[in-house]
Amino acid sequence: MSTNTLLRRNLSLALPPTSPLPPPPPPPPRAPLLSSYDVFLSFRGEDVRGKFVDHLYARLQGLKVNAFMDEKKLARGEVIEKSILTAIERSRFSVVVFSLRYADSEWCLDELVKIVRCAQNKGHVAMPVFFHVSPDDVAGQAGVYEEAFVKHEKGFKRKRVENWRKALITVAGISGWCLGENE
């Protein structure tokens, strides 16, 4: 119960019945929740598909968590980029699996930018998993991430590359899970 409603109720109890207070205003209308998925999985397929991500997806399904994984949820004939970006918008959480070659993929980096924008504007929650990479390397774009960005700077517009860098720094700064070789 809001403070205003509680105050109005208490005042109406304290005042004689001949001086009623007007009813409290109705609550503002809420926008409908457009959540289609609980979790969106962002990952570099060649690094973790058939390994970690398939196990994670199966576990989430077993827990009745509605997860979006591209090969499991994309219908044949759908426009891939549009479908993926819509799935991100309609998910409450994203699990971002940073792997050795995640930053090589412009698709992954574009997804990451979308995830960060949804987190900033829609309350979307990003949860990073560092799979055989260090959070410091991801945030600082060091090691294999640095190599990827050397290539990106030659092949893509500066603004796009800068957005990718900022998104990596943002998500790598979130407490997540670090998984080594044997985990």
Residue 6 burial by Cβ neighbours in a 10 Å radius (0-12, 13-18, 19+): exposed
Concerning whether 71 is annotated as a catalytic residue, the answer is no
Is the backbone of residue 124 left (phi > 0), alpha (psi -120 to 50) or beta? beta
CA angle at residue 127 from 125 to 129, to 5 degrees? Answer: 165
Task: Tokens 């980096």: give the residue.
Answer: 109
Options 81, 89, 111, 153, the catalytic residue: 111
Residue 26 burial by Cβ neighbours in a 10 Å radius (0-12, 13-18, 19+): exposed
β-pairing verdict for 125-131 and 177-179: parallel
Q: How many CB atoms lie within 10 A of CB 141?
A: 20
Question: Which residues carry out catalysis?
Answer: 111
